[in-house]
Amino acid sequence: MKKPWGGRFEKDTDQMVEQFTESVSFDRRLYHEDIRGSIAHAEMLARCGLVSETGLVAIREGLRDIEREIEAGTFEFQVPLEDVHMNIEAALIRRIGDAGRKLHTARSRNDQVACDLKLWSRGALDGFLALLTDCQRALLEKAEEYRELIVPGFTHLQHAQPVLLAHVLLAYVEMFERDRGRLGDCRARLNVSPLGACALAGTSLPIDPRSAAEELGFDRCFSNSIDAVSDRDFVIEFVGDLCLVALHLSRLAEEWLIWSTPEFDFVDMDEAFCTGSSIMPQKKNADVLELLRGKCGRLYGDLMALLTVFKGLPLAYNRDMQEDKEALFDAVDTVRSSLQVAAELVRTTAFKKENVARACARGHMDATALADYLVGRGVPFREAHEAVGRVVRAAAADGVTLQELSLEQLCSFSEVIAEDVYQVLGTQNCVENYRSHGSSSPSEVERQLNTWKERLAE
């Protein structure tokens, strides 16, 4: 098959080389953006007098026909034509002849692929903003459903202080909001058109890249053609941002996994979201959660691949850059399905209130509240900490909670303790007595819930 670039070659390309260098097997995913970019480019060429009006009509219609064929699955992508760009261009020329031969005027695949990839990334990125919002809504709904449920709050995975489940769930809402912010930042930097940079140097032809940029919804046009064709920061940044989404999902998954162990038994996972064992008939495994946790590894792999490909790469375009796509596609596909699954998983989980309450009674989680009580009565905190430490030791030795100690016993550790100490002991009192900003107090959690309800309202 004759290559679009075949003019200076006498020999055919080695078949092994064709297979090795092709990208059409994966970059065909860019067909929509490639066609959109080509139409905008042709329109710009027409405005600049480089393509006739009739030529433009033929190009536009030809490209739209090709797009329909691709969507119908009848378009035949050919490996000898290397990539999606040359496949579509060759098909256009087959269809409309000479007008099609003008499309690549003042354009190179270098600015073309950068443009396609930016358009594709921008679309994918916008999808993530919506998916993250959906995950946030799922968490918010769960938080509201169990707005009064107190759970053990952990540090070092040891019982620390009692908190509201809603407070815990809203912590993930915050994480996903930062992810949305990062993606928004990425979008703003990404949204600069590279089209019209040509191979690297620009062109001697009278083109108007700014008008094409505007047509394609870019905020502005590149200012340095060399940078425009060699920049893939946006891919790395986008995948980096997705790594953090995956990281957050892995933390949520791990939290849920811990809660789902028989030792904790805090959650009842919907059967539709669990899997069984091929040998142990009794098993109900949370494989979905494990995969959510595990997918994170793929994401870091994708990011590491990208960082490594671009390290030390000289200006401007180098074929190494073709290696950007599979990592990007994999990262996008993986995080997209992860977010979809995670949102449903949150929605279908029920919390086992009695088990949670039983766990709350363990671990003397009201010890800090007792120390604060002493502080309120003028005891310096370090001294209070020491005294409560001794109270806990005594309670633990007797196998009782702090609440179960008699006033007389409690007073033996500090003379400032009085009857009202029972208003601070116990998880319920602890939660009700929190008052600081952003704390697990019912009113502060209520405030957070209301803020998110407003922000996430459809």
The residues assigned a catalytic role are 156, 277
Site for ligand ARG in 135-154 (CB under 6 A): none
Q: Rounded to the nearest 5 degrees, what angle is found at the Cα of 27, between the Cα atoms of 91 and 124?
A: 120
At residue 414, the 3 state secondary structure works out as: coil
The answer to whether 253 and 293 are in contact (CB under 8 A) is: yes
Give 23 or 250: the residue with its C-beta nearer to ligand ARG.
23
Give 175 or 321: the residue with its C-beta nearer to ligand ARG.
321
| Residue 8 makes contact with ligand ARG by CB under 6 A | no
Site for ligand ARG in 40-99 (CB under 6 A): 83
| Residue 109 makes contact with ligand ARG by CB under 6 A | yes
- Residue 269's nearest CA partner among 344, 349, 343, 346 is 349
| Residue 27 makes contact with ligand ARG by CB under 6 A | yes
Cα 136 from Cα 131, distance rounded (Å): 9
- Residue 452's contacts (CB-CB under 8 Å, 6 or more residues apart) are 136, 140, 170, 173
- Residue 233's contacts (CB-CB under 8 Å, 6 or more residues apart) are 189
Least spacing, CB of residue 204 vs ligand ARG, in Å: 19
Cα 148 from Cα 272, distance rounded (Å): 27
| Residue 187 makes contact with ligand ARG by CB under 6 A | no
Of 70, 103, 113, 328, the one binding ligand ARG by CB under 6 A: 113
Of 87, 110, 161, 225, the one binding ligand ARG by CB under 6 A: 110
Least spacing, CB of residue 56 vs ligand ARG, in Å: 24
Cα 364 from Cα 396, distance rounded (Å): 9
Give 59 or 115: the residue with its C-beta nearer to ligand ARG.
115
Least spacing, CB of residue 79 vs ligand ARG, in Å: 12
Cα 151 from Cα 177, distance rounded (Å): 24
| Residue 230 makes contact with ligand ARG by CB under 6 A | no
Q: CB under 6 A: which stretch of 106-114, 237-245, 331-339, 420-428 binds ligand ARG? A: 106-114
- Residue 122's nearest CA partner among 246, 247, 240, 234 is 234
Cα 442 from Cα 6, distance rounded (Å): 72
Give 136 or 322: the residue with its C-beta nearer to ligand ARG.
322
Give 300 or 329: the residue with its C-beta nearer to ligand ARG.
329
Site for ligand ARG in 297-356 (CB under 6 A): 317, 319, 321-322
Least spacing, CB of residue 83 vs ligand ARG, in Å: 4
Give 40 or 229: the residue with its C-beta nearer to ligand ARG.
229
Helix (H) or strand (E) segment spanning residue 163: strand 158-164
Total residues at interface with ligand ARG (CB under 6 A)? 10
Least spacing, CB of residue 273 vs ligand ARG, in Å: 38
- Residue 303's nearest CA partner among 234, 243, 231, 232 is 243
Cα 96 from Cα 102, distance rounded (Å): 11
Give 23 or 260: the residue with its C-beta nearer to ligand ARG.
23
**Is residue 311 packed enough to be buried (19+ CB in 10 Å), middle (13-18) or exposed (0-12)?**
exposed
Least spacing, CB of residue 322 vs ligand ARG, in Å: 4
Least spacing, CB of residue 75 vs ligand ARG, in Å: 18
Residues in contact with ligand ARG by the rule CB under 6 A: 23, 27, 83, 109-110, 113, 317, 319, 321-322
